[in-house]
Amino acid sequence: SGTTVGFVGLGIMGSPMAAHLVAAGHRVAGYDLNTEAVTRLANAGGRAATSVADAVAGAEVVITMLPADPHVEQVVLGEGGVLDTATPGTLLIDMSTVRPETSQRVASAAAERGLRALDAPVSGGEAGARQATLSIMVGGDEADFARAKPLFDALGKTIVHVGPSGAGQVVKAANQLVVGGIYALVSEAIVLLEASGVDAKAGLDVLAGGLAANRILDLKRESMVARRFQPGFRIDLHHKDMGIVLAAARQAEVALPVGGVVAQLVQAARSMGYGSLDHSALLKVVERFSGH
């Protein structure tokens, strides 16, 4: 029993995810450009693969957890990549956050070669990956989702098949749009409270108990008021994700005016040198607008 899995991309998220699959009884061959990450998986009971093709060899399912679109394009569609080397019937699950259009391109290129593909981006951060409590939003065919479900069960808690290829990425884009917007507004609330001489902690405590309550207020209001911005989820990654949000909006021919503003705020944070801080550091941008 158990599935033979090739896992490419053993970073902050992929490393604990691959280890959970090993712990759940699957045979996992892992590959990453970073050889230390490969060694870590081998120490956790996986097989150290020496290339993408080596990780894919013999795999029934290939999972990718890579930074962004160009990496997925290279590893999946490129020469010697997953589609080039996998045997027909193999299921490719891309769990990276990329453009919906990239997932659709991967799925049709896979189908042309007799392979199957799902897009399955995640939410929940590093903690969610470590604790196997990720939310997983899945785009693709129902039968492929059913085949992947036992693997997802080892990684997450909220696992939803949301539609055809690309739909998982659209849901993830919507998630990042809302998260970015909430960070921007909580930042504006803090700046308003402090500049008015009101204790921001006390003010946000009240907000967290009323209609404005949300998880970001719950989890981050203390660290934001204290100006603690160590990641977490880096501004640089949220910048990438706002690019995906606006690309998805363009593909769907819709206007997201607040999303556009949020994207510019995240850009400003990056331009001001905050790219490696947590995305709650949007507060620093909002403060600077008021000369604080």
CB of 113 to ligand NAD, least distance (A): 20
Quick check: 18 binds ligand NAD (CB under 6 A)?
no
Does residue 149 carry a catalytic annotation? no
Catalytic choice (172, 201, 220, 284): 172
Q: What's the burial of 194, exposed, middle or buried (CB within 10 Å: 0-12/13-18/19+)?
A: middle
Quick check: 266 binds ligand NAD (CB under 6 A)?
no
Query: Which region among 42-50, 119-127, 153-161, 179-187 touches ligand NAD (by CB under 6 A)?
Result: 119-127
> Which one of 9, 16, 100, 168 is in contact with ligand NAD (CB under 6 A)?
9
Q: What's the burial of 54, exposed, middle or buried (CB within 10 Å: 0-12/13-18/19+)?
A: middle
> Using an 8 Å Cβ cutoff, are 166 and 119 in contact?
yes
Quick check: 12 binds ligand NAD (CB under 6 A)?
yes
Quick check: 37 binds ligand NAD (CB under 6 A)?
yes
Quick check: 75 binds ligand NAD (CB under 6 A)?
yes
Residues 91 and 280: their CA atoms lie apart, in Å, by 36
> Which one of 54, 101, 126, 153 is in contact with ligand NAD (CB under 6 A)?
126
Which of 38, 40, 42, 41 is CA-nearest to residue 52? 38
The enclosing H or E element of 223 equals: helix 215-225
Query: Which region among 41-49, 111-119, 123-131, 145-153 touches ligand NAD (by CB under 6 A)?
Result: 123-131
Residues 201 and 224: their CA atoms lie apart, in Å, by 10
> Among all residues, which ones are annotated catalytic?
172
